[in-house]
Amino acid sequence: MKTLRLSSLIKLNSEGVAERWMPIIIPDNYNLIHTAKGKFVVDSDAIIRAFRNGGNDLVIDYEHGSTKGVESPAAGWINELEAQVDGSLYAKVEWTEKAAGYIRNREYRYLSPAFVPEGDKITGLHSIALTNVPATYSASPVALNKDRNLKELDMDFKKILVALGLAPDADEVVCLAAIQLLKEMHSKTLTVLSLPAAATSAEVEKKIVALKDTNEKALKALSLSAAATSAEVEGKIVALSGNTTQLETLQKEVIALTNNLKERDAKELVALAQSEGKLAPAQAEWANKYALESPEGFKTWMSSASPIIALTKGLEPKKPESKELSGSQEEILKACGVTAEDFKKYGLGG
């Protein structure tokens, strides 16, 4: 089984005895645990569900002996887990006398859970160990002096209230509600930014900067100032949409006009071919389609096509019949200023 070891500080009460309810997982503000092996999302619900489905108490051993397959006596047993509003996971512990002595004498000071990860999520616990070599970063030991502990805790709580923007006299219920609200807002923010739950603050910041840059470019493209409201942006986009509609209408009109011109040119080409006697009536439909689709091709065909004899026969000028003139006729033509050649050529006598 693949496990991951982390750690949690063992807290002692005012008598120097380890507390029965202890935090075993304390994630950061993004519900992440940071380790030397990377960062992981804490799924407290899944951990508790796996623990309850197992039906056994969870062992606390020494130095992760249970994960190494060696003899490892129990230092204590966990018989209950509870998730807190802030995402931390608490365990109810029953210590052995020997382990309690180690803790009381400060011979052991940390808890180190062996997690069962699924991808980047922690969904179960294999065991927990007493250790003096924690796997988490920046773990700070807690002093045994009761007054000092209370003072430090009070100062920490006041800092939390200030960070949350709450009144100095706000109680724990108000504080936890504010933390829960922040977690929900953070989750929604990640969803809007299309980032995973394990996204770091640096990744969130990078995405926000990219969106800000995109927004600035969009406002510039719309000729709007950086202070433009969403209503102004929407109005500008609607106006541009109207211009787009006008442009589409104009484009349709241009296309229609272009088609009309093509049809006119095609008809003129066909008419020319008919006037030259190169088209039979049965070819009219083909000629119109060809001239419309490929004017240059139709022109090439016209230049190589020969006139159809049946069409051109009636177009030739009628020649007058040859007829010899009598002497008297020639005298009359001469008197009228008409030569015999012209008379024969133009058929004036026909």
Burial of residue 262 (CB within 10 Å: 0-12, 13-18, 19+) is middle
* The pLDDT value given to residue 349: 46
Residues 144 and 133 sit within 8 Å (Cβ to Cβ)? no
Residues 93 and 13 sit within 8 Å (Cβ to Cβ)? no
- How do beta strands 110-118 and 4-5 pair? antiparallel
Residue 350's pLDDT band (boundaries 50, 70, 90)? very low
Averaged pLDDT for residues 259-284: 87
Name residues whose C-beta falls within 8 Å of residue 51's C-beta, 6 or more positions apart in sequence: 58, 81, 124, 125
Residue 228 lies in a domain: no
Residues 305 and 323 in one domain: no
Residues 125 and 161 in one domain: no
Lowest-confidence range among 54-68, 261-275, 318-332?
Answer: 318-332
For residue 104, give both structure tokens: 């009381």
Averaged pLDDT for residues 3-7: 44
Residues 14 and 117 in one domain: yes
Q: Which residue has the higher pLDDT, 123 or 322?
A: 123
Residues 96 and 200 in one domain: no
Residues 104 and 166 in one domain: no
Residue 148 lies in a domain: no
* The pLDDT value given to residue 75: 92
Q: State yes or no: pLDDT of 295 exceeds 50.
A: yes
Residue 286 lies in a domain: yes
Q: Give φ, ψ of 185 to 5 degrees.
A: -65, -40
Q: Residue 12's closest CA among 111, 126, 160, 81?
A: 111
Place of tokens 């923007």: 165
Residue 243 lies in a domain: yes
Residues 188 and 216 in one domain: yes
- Structural domain that includes position 347: 317-350
Structural domains counted in the chain: 4
Residues 53 and 102 in one domain: yes
Q: State yes or no: pLDDT of 162 exceeds 80.
A: yes
Q: Which of 81, 108, 142 is the last residue of a domain?
A: 142
For residue range 72-126, list pLDDT tens digits in order. Answer: 899 999 999 998 877 888 889 898 899 888 888 888 888 888 888 899 999 999 9
Whole-number mean pLDDT of the chain? Answer: 78
Residue 239's pLDDT band (boundaries 50, 70, 90)? confident
Residue 212 lies in a domain: yes
Residues 215 and 310 in one domain: no
Residue 201's pLDDT band (boundaries 50, 70, 90)? confident
Residues 87 and 214 in one domain: no
* The pLDDT value given to residue 147: 36
Residue 149 lies in a domain: no
